[in-house]
Chains A and B, each alone.
Chain A
């Protein structure tokens, strides 16, 4: 029973990582850049929940909707202002800009909200008892919502016109343009979707633990990025798999008092092992070099 409980906890934190990893992987696949400010979009989502639900007393679900909109607009704005002018510049310049953007968001948040934690208690969730097992309601909600969102995203990419255009742009940007696809528009959509998923991740995170501060998204962001690389960056199923794997490893490591202090080290070690064995990640494809 303990085993199942640990597994469920792992699945739920893993699906939070998966949500974040999807943002990294989609942006990488389509804009061919690593958006290191992605984790901080979660933090902005967290503060949006704080302002709307706690300070203004809006219903938590409406607050979630507001957070999704804010994050999507923020993601698109970051792309337009910071990344778009650098299209075609060296990858290093883009990477440094993304890291700078990350610190900018953190600093602005600290200027506005200070460095003390703000408590975002949205629902009184409690626990459910199944047989001898105690599961927190948070776990169930996170799992169910993530499953629906990830299934929805997969269907969207496979079966809608814009989704297919996203695949086309990620495979070959020039050829996609020749199909009449507006690549800039597809990049905008990608940033909007990725950032909206980050808002969901922020929501799940504050359900689990209410304190929000300016570095809320930093560690989950790095872990989710690691998860995306483990799964194969650029691959949507890869990000889901990598995220869930990450969550399960974390959850099991934390139950053993001897291993627990090394949890983070173990998580990042998996990355090293995977990169040695399969440099393109578990589900990553080896891309043919085009001449």
Chain B
């Protein structure tokens, strides 16, 4: 059964239609990616799915529950969260405090400690810098912090919006290998990327989004070999 099912999602900014009825699904245990150019509606899709921006039409079903009209903070409590585009960490708080914010809905102290240890194991760099003000971290470290912060609730589904944006190539590789590790550890992942080749390489399935519509879908491999995708996104 699909963990996340989005049907005919429509989003408008004023009179401008940003998403013209898109449908996709993510099965439990998969990495699914959505690729597309700037302005295709990738971030809009992410934000409306999780309830940050309102939906005009369509439905979203997560883990068997209809969450079309559920407010964002409640969706997060159901186990679906998102690492937003541009990381959006709390710049003025320390690394540790950022992680505490991530665990805002976790009331069990023991679970909180265990999650914190797990995250520090995944990202030893953050453990070294736990007292540092987050705004002073490097771009790569901030991305790691944003991911750790989202992991603090043990999400069933982790949505990543452009995790490689603005990072040096060596860090991009590192972030993608971390995504693979997280997936191996059992987290279902929905990835939105401009870096199509990297995203397709690690994805089970993928969708291509073009100006508010899904134009292609298939397995990661299929899309990598598709002539349209090669031409438009892979520089082939």
Contacts and interface: CB of A to CB of B under 8 A. Distances in A.
A155 to B, nearest CB: 15
B61 interface: no
B3 interface: no
Contacts of B76: 177-180
Given A164-B97, A167-B90, A288-B91, A179 B102 contact: yes
A172 interface: yes
B21 interface: no
Contacts of B91: 171, 288
Interface stretch (B79-87, B192-200, B206-214): B79-87
Contacts of A182: 71, 73
Interface in A131-176: 161, 164-165, 167-168, 171-172, 174-176
A167 B91 CA distance: 11
B104 interface: yes
A98 B101 CA distance: 32
A112 B47 CA distance: 48
Nearest to B52: A174
Interface residues of A, number: 21
Given A178-B50, A180-B104, A172 B88 contact: yes
A55 interface: no
Contacts, number: 69
A290 interface: yes
A183 B73 contact: yes
Contacts of A176: 101
B100 interface: yes
Contacts of A290: 86, 88
B49 to A, nearest CB: 12
B77 A180 contact: yes
Interface string B116-154: 000000000000000000000000000000000110010
A291 interface: yes
A158 B91 CA distance: 15
Given A177-B72, A177-B76, A180-B105, A167 B82 contact: no
A290 B91 CA distance: 12
Interface string B166-179: 00000000000000
A136 B150 CA distance: 55
A266 interface: no
A168 B89 CA distance: 9
A181 B149 CA distance: 13
A178 B150 contact: yes
B92 interface: yes
Contacts of A168: 90, 93, 101, 104
B104 A179 contact: yes
A285 B149 CA distance: 24
A167 B101 CA distance: 10
A177 B77 CA distance: 10
Contact of B101 (A179, A183, A291): A179
Which of A176, A180, A285 lies at the interface centre, i.e. has the most chain B CB atoms within 10 A of its CB? A180
Given A167-B92, A171-B91, A178 B100 contact: no
A182 B74 CA distance: 8
Contacts of B104: 161, 165, 168, 179-181
Contacts of B81: 178, 180
A291 B88 CA distance: 11
A179 B93 CA distance: 14
A181 B73 contact: yes
A159 B91 CA distance: 17
Contacts of B47: 174
B50 A175 contact: no
21 contacts: A161-B104, A164-B93, A164-B97, A164-B101, A165-B101, A168-B93, A168-B104, A174-B84, A175-B90, A177-B71, A177-B72, A178-B76, A179-B76, A179-B101, A179-B105, A180-B73, A180-B77, A180-B104, A181-B101, A182-B71, A290-B88
Interface of B: 47, 50-52, 71-73, 76-77, 81-82, 84, 86, 88-93, 97, 100-102, 104-105, 149-150, 153
Given A177-B71, A178-B82, 8 more contacts: A161-B104, A167-B92, A177-B76, A178-B50, A178-B52, A180-B77, A180-B105, A182-B71
Across chains A and B, which 6 residue pairs bring their CB atoms closest together, nearest first?
A180-B105, A180-B76, A177-B72, A175-B88, A179-B104, A182-B73
